[in-house]
Amino acid sequence: MSGEKIALVTGANKGIGFEIAAGLGGLGWSVGVGARDEGKRELAVGKLRADGVDAFGVPLDVTDDASVEAAARLVEERGGRLDVLVNNAGVTGGMPQEPTTVDLAAVRTAVETNVIGVIRVTNAMLPLLRRSASPRIVNMSSGVGSLARQSEQGAAPDVTGPLSAAYSPSKTFLNAVTVQYAKELRDTNVLINLGCPGFCATDLNGFRGVRTARQGAQIAIRLATLPDGGPTGGFFEDAGVVPW
């Protein structure tokens, strides 16, 4: 077992996930770049290594049992344990998503990736995380998963978010599931929290976001590096707590 911290970031080939990997790598950590596409994964690993990051590629499709099991074996062979898991991979499910006309396939895709994928990866990695002295799990959520914000009377559209029967509810579901993990793991040293990156310019939104992916990564890096005794089961953005 090495003394260097080991992290795994899902969906790390681009966008916010890539920047989370770069940020954790900048701390001197060894970072697994979880990505489903071999070409994109190797490109990302190459870029990170060129910047001095101890990055390694982890073939990983969060919707696929065999892929996730193989990823856990690879991380175990690499480090014998895992210190930090960042469940960052996410999809919108496809647009449009007005509730009255939504394609059910969009709802299924969003939930399959953004919720069930997170449960699948977390449960596969937990045995490795439990071997860490200070395990941390960060689930990338969104302010559009906040029911309080979505239903705020008289608030601006950038607060209440778009009409969405797939993506937004999938993040609300993820929030609820994360609270359940925190309850089960409360008497362990595992801290599990939700991060909201803000509206960042990435492929996910056709680069309409107003923040950079690097800015969006900061909250995940903060939650990944929480000290022992830090919060668990919370929902945070750069400015502080996000209301449920």
Ligand X SMILES: NC(=O)c1ccc[n+]([C@@H]2O[C@H](COP(=O)([O-])OP(=O)(O)OC[C@H]3O[C@@H](n4cnc5c(N)ncnc54)[C@H](OP(=O)(O)O)[C@@H]3O)[C@@H](O)[C@H]2O)c1
Catalytic residues: 167, 171
DSSP 62-94: TT-HHHHHHHHHHHHHHHSS-SEEEE------S
- What are the C-alpha distances in Å from 119 to residues 103, 137, 188, 208, 215? 24, 11, 18, 29, 26
Q: Can you tell me the distance from the alpha carbon of 140 to that of 17, in angstroms, rounded to the nearest whole number?
A: 9
Is 88 one of the binding residues for ligand X (CB under 6 A)? yes
Q: Can you tell me the distance from the alpha carbon of 6 to that of 76, in angstroms, rounded to the nearest whole number?
A: 10
Beta bridge partners of 200: 211
Which residue among 175, 202, 218, 232 contacts ligand X (CB under 6 A)? 202
Q: Can you tell me the distance from the alpha carbon of 226 to that of 182, in angstroms, rounded to the nearest whole number?
A: 15
Which residue among 7, 48, 60, 82 contacts ligand X (CB under 6 A)? 60
Q: Would you say 179 or 189 has its CB closer to ligand X? A: 179
Angle, helices 104-111/167-184, rounded to nearest 10 degrees? 30
Is 204 one of the binding residues for ligand X (CB under 6 A)? yes
Is 89 one of the binding residues for ligand X (CB under 6 A)? yes
Is 77 one of the binding residues for ligand X (CB under 6 A)? no
Is 135 one of the binding residues for ligand X (CB under 6 A)? no
Q: Would you say 109 or 132 has its CB closer to ligand X? A: 109
Instruction: Specify the stretch interacting with ligand X by CB under 6 A; choose among 69-77, 124-132, 176-184, 199-207.
Output: 199-207
Q: Would you say 10 or 225 has its CB closer to ligand X? A: 10
Shortest separation between residue 141's beta carbon and ligand X, angstroms: 7
Which residue among 82, 200, 224, 242 contacts ligand X (CB under 6 A)? 200
Q: Is the dihedral of CA 37, 40, 44, 50 positive or negative?
A: positive
* Nearest partner of 17 among 82, 37, 2, judged by Cα: 37
**Hey, how many other C-beta atoms are within 10 angstroms of the C-beta on 159?**
14
Which residue among 7, 8, 15, 25 contacts ligand X (CB under 6 A)? 15
Taking 3-state DSSP, the helix, strand and coil percentages for the chain, each rounded to the nearest 5, stand at 45, 15, 40
Is 225 one of the binding residues for ligand X (CB under 6 A)? no
Q: Which residues in the 152-191 window bind ligand X by CB under 6 A?
A: none
Is 32 one of the binding residues for ligand X (CB under 6 A)? no
Q: Would you say 105 or 186 has its CB closer to ligand X? A: 105
List residues near ligand X by CB under 6 A.
Answer: 10-11, 13-17, 35-37, 40, 60-63, 88-91, 113, 117, 140, 142, 197, 199-200, 202-205, 209, 213
